[in-house]
Amino acid sequence: MNILLTGNKGYIGTVLCDILIKKSYKVIGYDIDYYSDCYLDDFTKPTRQIIKDTRDIGIEDLDGIDVIIHLAALSNDPLGELHPDLTKEINYDATIKIAKLAKKVGVKRFVYASSQSMYGVSNTTDELDEDNSEKNPVTTYARTKWEAEKELKKISTDDFLVVCFRPSTVFGESPKLRCDIVYNNFVANAFTTGKIVIKSDGTPWRPVVHVKDVCKAFIAGIEAPKELVANQSYNVGISNGNYTVRELAEAAQRVVLGSTLTFTNEHNDSRTYKVSFKKILSELKDYFKPEYDLIRGGSELIEFFNKINFNSDVFNGRKVNRLRQLQYLIKKGEINKDLRRF
């Protein structure tokens, strides 16, 4: 099977590419390569690599492709608000363009990396489910993910299967590590400074999931029977996978021995939500079997940090912060304000 993996050079993509190659799939990587100098460790190369903007994809790029796993996007709310119109171009317009071209040339499956951010701020007494809970996307990033899901499902047919996965906030080691996401940030902060400082009271809820478990979900999307996943959306996480910020910080403190934890209560964080994972854990139980909790994933991060000599300069630099890297490329003149390469 030939799999086109967009965003294969990103935080999740580098991990997923390695797993797919080890499972003997042929992986055609497709990536604009904004983060070409941000690797912290060796990585597995795809069978073939395309360096190209998703906005510029053509039919020739899909020759011989059986399945697409579409990860490529401006990947979080701060990036999304950097240029809202641009976020729509990349996260929505390019996604629909790729899907329509894929359907035209006979690609069989389109596995879409969506987002739980579409739920917005919610009543935390209830766990949000995929199909019945209200969608309240409050950021450009969240809106583009939700709108893309709806449009993709209109395109889906018996011959062109669409399945959407909404990962919790991801954590865990990767050659293209990100420390601008919550649990990685806590562990990295504790490792480099010996301290974790939380500016809220730690009560907001966050669902999180390990990067390798997210990869298992995407692989379930290509391996599960058609009748099981066609036109479905799944929250991706583990049983009891909702944590307060306090619980995340306390877990980080446990894996970084001797670190301290402080809550300053400087501001209230309105971003709080719980998500239900019953659907993926029941319907895809034979295909999605997550393995990681916070302690195991955090302990592996510490091993990784020791291996690569991770330090404060790296933690505070652009290599592990996506917005800083894009701002660096713009300032350096390698890309313009529309994020296109000169």
- Residue range 98-110, pLDDT digits in tens: 999 999 999 999 9
Given this model, what pLDDT does residue 126 score?
Answer: 82
Mean pLDDT, residues 308-325: 96
Please name the residue that has the structure tokens 């501001």.
267
Given this model, what pLDDT does residue 267 score?
Answer: 76
- Domain 2-332: CATH class, spelled out: alpha beta
Q: Per-residue confidence at 57, pLDDT binned at 50, 70, 90?
A: very high
Query: What one-letter code names the amino acid at 225?
Result: P
Q: Per-residue confidence at 80, pLDDT binned at 50, 70, 90?
A: low
The whole-chain average pLDDT of the chain stands at 94
Given this model, what pLDDT does residue 165 score?
Answer: 98
Provide the 10 A C-beta neighbour count for residue 270.
10
223-265 pLDDT tens trace: 999 999 999 999 999 999 999 999 999 999 999 999 999 998 8
Q: Where are the domains of the chain?
A: 2-332
Question: pLDDT at residue 123 above 80?
Answer: no
Mean pLDDT, residues 282-298: 98
Given this model, what pLDDT does residue 272 score?
Answer: 81
Given this model, what pLDDT does residue 136 score?
Answer: 86
Mean pLDDT, residues 23-37: 97
**Measured between alpha carbons, how far is 137 from 131 in angstroms, rounded to an integer?**
15
Given this model, what pLDDT does residue 122 score?
Answer: 66
**Measured between alpha carbons, how far is 68 from 53 in angstroms, rounded to an integer?**
16
Is 120 in contact with 142 (CB distance < 8 Å)? yes
Q: Per-residue confidence at 85, pLDDT binned at 50, 70, 90?
A: confident
Q: Per-residue confidence at 333, pLDDT binned at 50, 70, 90?
A: very high
Question: pLDDT at residue 18 above 80?
Answer: yes
How far is CA 227 from each of CA 70, 130, 214, 224, rounded to the nearest angstrom? 21, 18, 21, 8
Is 235 in contact with 277 (CB distance < 8 Å)? yes
Given this model, what pLDDT does residue 337 score?
Answer: 87
Tokens of residue 337, six digits: 């304000």
Percent of the chain exceeding pLDDT 90 equals 85
Query: What one-letter code names the amino acid at 112?
Result: Y
Given this model, what pLDDT does residue 247 score?
Answer: 97
**Measured between alpha carbons, how far is 102 from 54 in angstroms, rounded to an integer?**
13
Is 162 in contact with 152 (CB distance < 8 Å)? yes
Torsion sign, CA atoms 307, 309, 315, 317 = negative
Chain centroid offset of residue 187 CA: 18
Q: Per-residue confidence at 48, pLDDT binned at 50, 70, 90?
A: very high
Nearest in space to 114 (alpha carbons), one of 69, 155, 158: 69
Higher-pLDDT residue of 270, 194: 194
Question: pLDDT at residue 318 above 80?
Answer: yes
